[in-house]
Structures are given as structure tokens and as C-alpha cells.
Amino acid sequence: MNMAGKSIALFCLFAFYTRNAAGDDYLRMGTNTNTAEATQFLREYDREASGMCYRVTMSQWKFVTNITEYNRRRMLEELALSTKFEKLSWRKAAAYDASRLPDPQGRKQLIRIVQASRASLSDDKFAEIQQIITEMKEVYNSAKICPFGQKPYDPHVSRTTPQPTESPEAKAYQHNQPIQNSQLHQDITDYPNYCDMQLDPEISRILAHSRIENELLYVWKSFRDKTGPKLKNKFMRYVQLANEAAVNTGYRDAGDQMRAAYDDTSFRESVEEIYNQVAPLYKQLFTYVRRRLILRYGEASVRPDGPIPAHLLGNMWAQNWKSIMDLVMPFPQSPNLDVTSEMLRQGFTPLRMFQMAEEFYVSLGLRPVPPEFWRGSMLARPAQRSVQCTASAWDFCNRIDYRIKQCTEVTMQDLISTHHEMAHIQYYLQYADQPQLFRDGANPAFHEAVANAATLSVYNIPHLQRLGLYQNKSHDPYEVSMNFLMSMALEKVAYLPFAFMVDQWRWSIFEDGVHNMNARWWQMKLRYQGVTPPIGRTEADFDPGSKYHIISDQEYIKYFLATILEFQIFEQLCIAAGYTGHLHECDVYRSRDAGRVLSEIMQPGASMSASDIIRSMTRGKTNRISPESLVKYFRPLELWLRVQNRDEQVIGWNSNFHDVALFAPQRALSNTNCFSFLMLLTSFVIVNSM
């Protein structure tokens, strides 16, 4: 055993379980009760952690805004130093008996150092789990597939010459016939120069825009072939190590450790209750969308009372359906709210879009961004260097430097995104005076929820009218509203069951082990989302590996909660602004009272519990995340959907043996034993209708 392992073993001998903020006993901590020493440690930690955070963040910024081998190496060096710092700090913090510290804020800080870390692992295993996560990300990021319907690259033929279309997929594609599973197994990875389609943007674009079923199926399956099988074994080892770290720290398993961030002893029940409250709305949307998909693809592809095949919903994971708006628009003769052409006509630039976003928050009485923001940010794609373009907001932990990285284009989507990223910056500015450990959301859902709540006030008809970007001259306002609400529902309501099931699956793997991982993934997709794989899956596949957040060790339930919480926050802003109309038409622009509510949510950062913040935000009405506001927002659409679905036999979906056979383990299916068969049916076949 190495030295670190020894000191942990020694520490564990004297360890006992402390109470975390939620009052349950499980976090394992030490026996040191010297308050003065602990206070001194936290003071030093704050200074060193801020410095460390600055250096790491700067090295990451330099890398993602200028991707070179040198910058990558510099970033890895800084990350290695911060890993050492994390281990050292964890050991020091875990030696204290946090429960006996008289200062609740100090207690909370000590718990935050220990709670989420995996530093309880031996040095070797700590390094191993980090290495595995890095490797999984590399496999994922390097996944490339060949274009559909064309023969793989022939070096003797010029790239610009059209390729002969002779492959089996190509033939099927030309005649729009179903592709056989065996045809899809064709391995064409030997043509690396040609097979260079990545998830973002090429594959995602096909899933969003193609309406050719075979093409959708091809990219859906090919991306999974290039990720899952290579990731499965690594993921299994990751589960083992993550669980070991969690148990060392005093948790039952790694899922238990992830959930601890929410300070809620009945967290799983609370989340499930929220899901049950939004499921009826989801099923109305689902049923209407299924009918429209049948009109496009026919009953041979989509059963009228069944689940929907996952490749038809416009997204690799069927998590966001906004790309199929053209198929499901309630009133195609009325417009879909999009002000892109007006923005172009008025000569918008990326800089002007960010200035508008800043002005939105200043109009609420919040803070302007500092000059360093304008000097340091990357607001458009630079011409001469390679960069990572995903939009993000950065806090350099020195209370001076805040930046946004966004390859902004003049589109309405990017205008919403500028407001979203600026809200993150506003959050950073609001909690800047907190200690480093509290410069974060009240729980992991808060940052996204606040950013999205603000954008609900931007992406809406009255606000875009106020900005002079939208005028409804000749269309029925009800029809325009329903189109708008449908596009929002495809983004927010359709997303909820997915955002809910991802961590249900992950927690079940941490808790019950790594058997039948793929079947359990699809079982949950079917149960909560009502989607099936479009083609048979086995345990040689590892479809959860097609989702980045799974293999990159990022918790996901925060996105579910953030989607619920954003509407709850938004409604409180609207109430503060004195607004009394339909929630989806509320604009809080220029309301200082709304700004005050927002500021009271953001300023405490993580120093205050989420329940206290929600209690204060709702003026004592509740201290829990509640889906009431989301349901209220979509109420006019829900009424419309109920009318559209009035003749449907099934609101929701019934799944049958064929659906389950697509993913259930062969062993279970071929078992003729009547009891096993019944068990299989009850565990997999789901009636999810109402």
C-alpha cells in the first residue's frame, strides 16, 4: 500500500459518521474538534483553492479557445496539480469532526470538500478512475461514421467526384426500403479519410433534418456502434471504482454519493413525485406527436397505441423533439416564432447581441459585466485557429475575470443563448463575495434553472415585440401562441422523461450492479419516455455510452430538476413584476422587483440551502421544487392537445412482447418456463397509458 492509502486506512480506524445538512448520518469524517484550527484551515483553503481554480480555468480556457498540443499539455499539467491539491485538502478536511463545529457555515464548507470527492481512494485508484474517464471521453469524442448511402472512400477516385452508390445501404436508401440488420453491420472503418462524420454537427443535423427513415436508422445505429462496445468495459471498471470511493467516504454507493448534493433524505421519492406530476402532460404531447409521425412514416413504422421508435424524434437520444416541429406544428398556416430574418435585416452583430443581453439584466437592476468580460471573451468563431464552439460561461475565481465562449451567429437561437450564458455570468457576479466553496448554485440544478428562467422572459412574443423584432400583422394570435407553445413543449416537456431516466438508470447500475446494462437502459427508456430502439439491441451494445454525460461522469438529474425549477422561478419573477396574464406571455424586462427576486436567489450561492431559497422566493408558500408552474405555463397547449387526442384509443403507450423483444436478454426470451416468462412480462412489458 502506498502512503496515501496508509493514511486513509489510519484515518478510517478513527472515523465515524457525521450528520450532513439534511440530518442523515452517513458522511464519514474524523475526530478533530479544534474549531480554531478548522477555521484557519478553511481560510487557507479558500485562498489556495481560488488560486488553483484560477490557474486550471485559465489553462482550460487557453486550450478550448486555441486547440494546440502545447495548450493541451499545459492544461493537463495544471489539472494534475489540482488533483494533488484536492487529495491533500480532502485528507485535511476529512480529519475534522464537522458536526462539532459551532459555525454552521464552516461545517457546511468542510462537508462540501469531503462530500463529492473520490479522494478517499488510494492514489493509484484515484489516478485510475480519472484516467478511465479521460479515455472514455476520448473514445466518445473521436467517434466518426461514414456517410450514408455512398460507397466508402476509394483513394483512386477524386473526393470531388460523385461516388458510385453500390453498398447495400445505398441500394436500400435509393429505393427507400428497410435495411436488414446484417447490412448495417458492414464495417467500413478502413476508410478513415472519408468516414469523418462526427456527432456534432453532421450526425445531429441528419437526425434533426432528414425525414428518410433508413438514413435516420443508419446514423442512429452507426454512432452507437462506434461508441458503446468500446466503452462498456471501461464503464464497468469506472462503476467499481466510483462505488469504492463512495463506500470509503461513507455512502452506500456512488449514486448515493451523487444524490447527497441535494440535501434531501427522501430525494428519490421527491424526484419521482415530480415526474408523476408531469407525466400526464407528457403523455398528451406524446400521443399527439405519435399521430403526426404515423402521418409521415405510416403505421408500419409507428404503432397507433405503441411506443415511438427512437430514431424518428429528431435527436440522437430522443431527448429534445424541437427539430420535428415541421411535422407537428399545430397551425402550419401561421408562423413559427423566429426573428432571425428580422435580426439580419436590422444588421445585428454578435457584439450587439451580447450588449442586449447585458442590458436585459441591467434593466432588472442587476450588475453590468466588468470591462474584463469584453476584453477576454470569445463571442464569435475566430478565423485562424481551432476552437471548441459549445457555448459556455466562465468564472476565473478571482472576482475579476468572467468570460463567455460562444461561436455566435446572428440567429434567434443564438440570441436566446447569449441571454442564457449572460445569466450564468450574472450568477457569478452575484455570489462573488462568497467563499470559493459557496460560489456555486444552491444545489446542482440552480445555475441552469436561473439561466433558463431568464430566457423564458426573452423567448416570448411580447418581449420580442418590445425589442422591435416581431410584429404580428395578419395572423391569428391564438394560432401563433399554440405554435409557440408547441415549440417550447418539444424542447421542455419532451425532455422531462429523458432527463429523469438517465440517472434512474445510472443509480440502478451503481446500486444493483452491471448485469444487463443495455436491457435496463431500454427498459427505462420504454417505461418513462415510451420509446423503443428502432432495431434489435443486445448486451454487446452499450447504448447508455452514446450519451456523453454517462461516460464523462456528469450527473444528469440536475437537468430534470432545472427544467422544473426554471418555470417555478419564472413564475415568481412574473408575480414580483405584477404580471397577471398567461405565464407564457410574461416579460419581466425592466422590472426591478423581478430583479430583486433573482438577486436574492443568486447572491447566497451555495451558502444557503435550496429549500431556504425556495421558501424565500415563494414568500413561504413552499420550500420544495414544484412542477405547478410548468404545468400552468403549458395549460393552454394541454387543453388544445386534449382536443386533438380525443379520438385516440390510448393516451400514452401500451408496450407488447415485440417491443420488449427488441432489447430483452435472449436467455429470458427463449425461456419456456411459464413463471420466468411471466416475470419477464411484468418486469418489461409496460402499460403506460391513462
Q: Which is nearer to ligand X8Z, 290 or 420 (CB)?
A: 420
* Listed residue (149, 168, 7) closest to 91, CA to CA: 7
Cβ(487)–Cβ(337) under 8 Å?
A: yes
The neighbour count for residue 518, using CB atoms within 10 Å, is: 22
3-state DSSP of 244-267: HHHHHHCCCCHHHHHHHHHCCCCH
Amino acid 113 reads: I
- What is the C-alpha R_g of the chain? 26
SS3 of residue 169 by DSSP: helix
- 231: cell is 466503452
Q: Which three cell numbers stand for residue 618?
A: 415563494
Q: Shortest gap between Cβ of 671 and ligand X8Z (angstroms)?
A: 37
Q: Tell me the three cell numbers of residue 228.
A: 458503446
Stated length of the chain? 690
Cell, residue 244: 469504492
Which of ligand X8Z, Zn ion, none lies near 422, with the C-beta cut-off 5 to 8 A by kind? none
The Cβ-side half-sphere exposure at 637, using a 13 Å CA radius, reads 32
Choice between 233 and 390, CB closer to ligand X8Z: 390
In the list Zn ion, ligand X8Z, none, the entry touching 343 (Cβ below 5 to 8 angstroms by class) is none
Q: Quick check: 223 binds ligand X8Z (CB under 6 A)?
A: no
Which residue from 451, 464, 517, 531 is in contact with Zn ion, where contact means CB under 5 A? 451
- Min dist CB 390 to ligand X8Z, Å, is 6
From the candidates 549, 585, 600, 648, which is the catalytic residue? 549
Residue 451 site contact among ligand X8Z, Zn ion, none (CB < 5 to 8 Å, cut-off depends on kind): Zn ion
Q: Which is catalytic among the residues 169, 244, 421, 555?
A: 421
> Quick check: 595 and 582 in contact, CB under 8 A?
no
567 binding ligand X8Z? (CB under 6 A): no
Dihedral in degrees, nearest 10, Cα atoms 497, 205, 341, 409: 90
Please choose, out of 162-170, 338-346, 376-384, 444-452, the segment that lies near Zn ion by the rule CB under 5 A.
Answer: 444-452
Q: Which three cell numbers stand for residue 638?
A: 394541454
Q: Which is nearer to Zn ion, 422 or 489 (CB)?
A: 422
User: d(Cα 18, Cα 612) in Å, to the nearest integer?
Assistant: 22
559 binds ligand X8Z (CB under 6 A): yes
What does 189 bind: Zn ion, ligand X8Z, none (CB cut-off 5 to 8 Å by kind)? Answer: none
x/- site string to ligand X8Z, residues 382 to 421, per CB under 6 A?
Answer: --------x-------------------------------
Could you list the residues known to form a binding site, using ranges. 262, 420, 424, 448
| Sign, CA torsion 516/518/521/525 | negative
31 interface partner picked from ligand X8Z, Zn ion, none, CB below 5 to 8 A per type: none
Beta strands (DSSP E) in 469-578 are 531-532
Q: How far is the CB of 60 from ligand X8Z (least distance, A)?
A: 15
Minimum distance of Zn ion from residue 448's CB (angstroms): 5
Q: Which does 289 bind (CB under 5 to 8 A by kind): Zn ion, ligand X8Z, none?
A: none
Paired residues of 96 in beta bridges: 32
Q: How far is the CB of 559 from ligand X8Z (least distance, A)?
A: 5
**Contact 152/191 with Cβ under 8 angstroms?**
yes
- Residue ranges of the binding site for Zn(2+): 420, 424, 448
Q: Which three cell numbers stand for residue 689?
A: 397509458
**By CB under 5 A, which span of 5-13, 308-316, 450-458, 511-519 interacts with Zn ion?**
450-458
CB nearer to Zn ion: give 389 or 668: 389
419 catalytic residue (yes or no): no
Tell me which residue of 403, 396, 378 sits closest to 439, measured CA to CA. 396
Which of 235/556 has CB closer to ligand X8Z? 556
Label the pairing between strands 531-532 and 308-309.
Answer: parallel
The residue among 256 and 395 lying less far from Zn ion, judged by its C-beta, is 395
Active site residue 421: yes
Least spacing, CB of residue 491 vs Zn ion, in Å: 14
Q: What is the DSSP-derived secondary structure letter of residue 526?
A: I
Q: Give strand pairing partners of 197.
A: 145
Which does residue 559 touch among ligand X8Z, Zn ion, none (CB within 5 to 8 A, set by kind)? ligand X8Z
What is the spatial distance between Cα 396 and Cα 506, in angstroms, rounded to a whole number? 31
- Candidate ranges 131-139, 447-455, 556-564, 567-575; the one touching Zn ion (CB under 5 A): 447-455
Q: How far is the CB of 420 from Zn ion (least distance, A)?
A: 6
246 vs 425 by CB, closer to Zn ion: 425
Cβ 540 vs Cβ 229: under 8 Å: yes
Q: List active site positions.
A: 421, 549
Binding site for ligand X8Z (CB under 6 A): 390, 559
Binding site for Zn ion (CB under 5 A): 451
